[in-house]
Amino acid sequence: MKLSLRLSAFASLAVCVVAHEGHDHDTQMPLDYVRFPYQAMYPGDNEVTADSVFSGIATFAKLPWVQCLGRDRDASFDVAFIGAPFDTGTSYRPGARFGPAGIRAGSRRLTLYGGYNVPLEVNPFHSGLKIVDCGDIPVTPYDNKYAIKQIEDGHKSLLHRQTFSPLGNDSATGLPLVPISVDGKHHPRVITLGGDHTIVLPLLRSIYSAYGPISVIHFDSHLDTWKPQVFGGAPTDQAAINHGTYFYWASQEGLIKNGTSIHGAIRTTLSGPADYVNDDESGFQRIEAREIDTIGTAGIIKKIRDTVGDQPVYLSIDIDSIDPAFAPATGTPETGGWSTRELRTILRGLDGLHIVSADIVEVAPAYDTNAELTTMAAADVLYEVLSVMAKTPLGKVLV
Ligand SMILES: [Mn+2]
């Protein structure tokens, strides 16, 4: 309402100026003169705005900004985007602290034509779910231990909030759905914009508080299950937790469901074959990036689905799973990766899985092209994730 009043005053002023210049515009310019299909994206959002997709303040996909960790602590939603601007666990190129801002800029155009996903036959922005951008978790760049706790607390604050929409009934049987969490509650979903990959340790600690040990689908050119002695040398306890070791720690803490978790797009060099033995012990199956040449996207999708089954699953996407030709702006780029098209196809192949929350990490916009290749790829990848989420409620039918 406040925005409309301000715009109204501004429009009147504009009309006055025009009139003084001698043109015969004597009626006020309508406030919705730049109405685009992206408007009214969630229930109750019918506010007229003069912002087009290329103007105004950047939120993910121009979604409404809610200060979920500030003055809007009681706000409810079904899906929340939240930034975790942390990059002090990086081994090579720093800069992922600017990832959330970059991804939001890369996402501006997502709803220019309305946001309908043709292959998935859904418009996540008009699916009845309340989807918001909660801004960023405050993260200190001076103390990793403290920052990791901030990220866990920020994520938990969103995850344990009341959902905006009820769980509803099963579309096939009409029977009421019950939550798939271990605490029996229906939780909203959180999509985190990283940040370097270290953030997944506190994110999985938060996920554990609602779902217990979770199956993980992890797209990355790197394993990230390295022992601290192998990756970084672990000179201190703090150094031992970084963007190459967080899955080792998550496994040690029992946060990951052993045997139903899987990496995709792996192609890094190793310290030696023992890294794969260690990776096995951390509970992961592996899909190598080069397997796309033999089994294709369909074969990769099948491997993932066969591994995860109908378990609740957490999805973590390192932008470096995509080839640097398509996504150069990242912390530890590796050639020989998947195209943006291939990763998007694989993500759509997860349709029907119970993805409880997700993230995209390692986007470091300072290394991007002027054409915003990487941040656009990150935004489009999350659009596929959001579409899959919109189609499948986080519930099951009791049998
Ligand atoms: Mn990586």
Whether the per-residue pLDDT at 362 is higher than 90: the answer is: yes
Distance from the alpha carbon of residue 361 to the mean position of ligand 1, in angstroms: 9
Distance from the alpha carbon of residue 321 to the mean position of ligand 1, in angstroms: 7
How confident is the model at residue 51, as a pLDDT? Answer: 66
Distance from the alpha carbon of residue 330 to the mean position of ligand 1, in angstroms: 9
Whether the per-residue pLDDT at 101 is higher than 60: the answer is: yes
**H or E segment to which residue 147 belongs:** helix 144-159
| Mutual angle of helices 373-391 and 99-106, in 10-degree steps | 80
Q: How far apart are CA 133 and CA 66, in angstroms?
A: 6
Q: Quick one: average pLDDT of 130-148?
A: 97
Q: Which residues neighbour ligand 1 (ion) by CB within 5 Å?
A: 220, 222, 318, 320
| CA angle, residues 314, 315, 319, in degrees to nearest 5 | 155
How confident is the model at residue 11, as a pLDDT? Answer: 42
Domains of the chain: 60-394 (3.40.800.10)
- Residues forming the annotated binding site? 197, 220, 222, 224, 318, 320
Q: 219 to each of 245, 300, 318, 337, 361, how far by Cα in Å?
A: 15, 12, 6, 11, 10
Residues 284, 288, 294, 295, CA torsion sign: positive
What HEC string does 214-236 produce? EEEEEECCCCCCCCCCCCCCCCC
Whether the per-residue pLDDT at 231 is higher than 70: the answer is: yes
Q: Quick one: average pLDDT of 245-257?
A: 97
How confident is the model at residue 32, as a pLDDT? Answer: 53
Distance from the alpha carbon of residue 92 to the mean position of ligand 1, in angstroms: 11
Q: How far apart are CA 193 and CA 273, in angstroms?
A: 32
Q: How far apart are CA 152 and CA 26, in angstroms?
A: 56
Distance from the alpha carbon of residue 368 to the mean position of ligand 1, in angstroms: 16
pLDDT digits over 113-127, tens only? 778 999 999 999 989
Residues facing residue 286 across a β-bridge: 263
Locate tokens 């005053």: which residue?
A: 9
Whether the per-residue pLDDT at 20 is higher than 70: the answer is: no
Distance from the alpha carbon of residue 244 to the mean position of ligand 1, in angstroms: 8
Distance from the alpha carbon of residue 222 to the mean position of ligand 1, in angstroms: 5
Average pLDDT, the chain: 90
- pLDDT band, residue 54 (cuts 50/70/90): confident
Contacts of 217 (CB under 8 A, 6+ apart): 261, 262, 264, 304, 308, 313, 314, 315, 316, 350
Q: Quick one: average pLDDT of 16-43?
A: 50
Amino acid identity of 149? Answer: K
| pTM for the whole structure | 0.90
- pLDDT band, residue 365 (cuts 50/70/90): very high
- Residues forming the annotated binding site for Mn(2+)? 197, 220, 222, 224, 318, 320
- pLDDT band, residue 29 (cuts 50/70/90): low
CA atoms within 13 A on the CB side of 388: 25
